[in-house]
Structure 1
Amino acid sequence: MKVLIVSDSHGKGKLLAQIVQRVSADHVIHCGDFCTDRKELPSGSLTVVRGNCDWERVPEEQTWESHGLRFFVAHGHQYRVKTTPLPIRYRAEEAGARVACFGHSHFPFCEQSGGVLLINPGSIAYPRGFSVPTYACLELLGKNVRVTYYKTDGQKIHKPGGTFPL
């Protein structure tokens, strides 16, 4: 299973479509601030949440599960992700999730904490505190997951990311 995780595309629908086509994932997670009409989001298997800049009526948070792995998805602004990952980790634990995907800070982040893998894919439009726009891919590898970060042109970034036990 391969999951594409993006956030904070801020109206760059064509770029998002190019990334989705290039990656060819089994599922796409958009962590909010897509800032377009919902119909401009990718078709297919998609989990999307509303960010603080979105006007479309989509859920504030969602869970998605595949292959026995549960994901909690939120934009992150309601969980103070710019200051600490603990509130979103606690909310993911409450939801019974092993992976928490979020955005808002525009900064890529990947860390396992308290049994929850925390993933912020960064922003494909406007990075902050990081030199390039980014997205992440999660691949299920038996009892592990591998998280890999990429520039929007598809070039692999060596940090953050890694392989984590489930």
Structure 2
Amino acid sequence: MTRVLITSDSHGLTQELTEIMNQHEVDWYIHCGDSELDFDAEVLHPFYKVGGNCDFDPRYPTEEIKDIDGIRFFITHGHLHQVKSGLTTLAYAAEEQEAKVVCFGHTHIAGAEKIGEQLFINPGSIRMPRNRVEKTYAVLEWLDNYNVSIEFYTVEGQRVESMSYSTTL
């Protein structure tokens, strides 16, 4: 089984990121931008990370393409793909990279949905969530057959039952 912890929009929080990492045994970490930390901040070392509209360290890439245990991930913040207006631009960018899983933030709205052949995951925000009271992040897991499940958690590590999502890639 492969497990990936996905977070975004932490906006300067460091202790909370450490606590989140300590609450789960995962294989990989992804931060979808707006950490507002230096690229080489110690708390971000285990993360694949991208820059958001509130990240000013020029070392942040705007996009990352990562192959994790046979699944290609497209990681971005989303502001350059106009995600507040829809996912079409983001979907095209991910399709050009042959990505199956698209991780993004920017909207601070947690959710997961499969559109066509792509799985979109927005972990929400652990600082300033929108459309929910819970400050959230996500954990994606799958077995060799690519049946994936996404669970959303609060900063305190409580599963948000109503947000569980499963699909096949």
TM bucket, shorter chain:
over 0.9
Q: Which moved more, 1:82-91 or 1:49-58?
A: 82-91
Partner residue in 2 for 1:19: 20
Give the alignment partner of residue 156 of structure 2, picking from 153, 156, 160: 153
Partner residue in 1 for 2:55: 54
Superposition TM-score, scaled by structure 2 size: 0.93
Task: Give the SS at the match of 1:23.
Answer: coil
Spell out, residue by residue over 1:109-164, the C-alpha distance to the aligned partner (whole angstroms, 9 max, x if none). Answer: 21100100000000011111211100000001222111110111011112333111
Superposition TM-score, scaled by structure 1 size: 0.95
Bigger strand share? 1
Q: Are residues 1:31 and 2:32 paired?
A: yes
1:20–1:42 CA contact under 8 A, matched in 2: no
Partner residue in 1 for 2:87: 85
Give the alignment partner of residue 113 of structure 1, picking from 112, 115, 119: 115
1: CA distance, partners of 2:76 / 2:129 = 18
Change (3 A) 1:90 1:6: same
Structure 2 residue runs without a partner (length 5+) = none
1:135–1:149 CA contact under 8 A, matched in 2: yes
Q: Are residues 1:64 and 2:52 paired?
A: no
Q: Provide runs of 4+ in structure 1 moved above 4 Å.
A: none
1:17–1:42 CA contact under 8 A, matched in 2: no
Structure 1 residue runs without a partner (length 5+) = none
2: CA distance, partners of 1:164 / 1:100 = 14
Structure 1 residue 40, shift from structure 2 partner: 3.4
Partner residue in 2 for 1:2: 3
2: CA distance, partners of 1:81 / 1:114 = 17
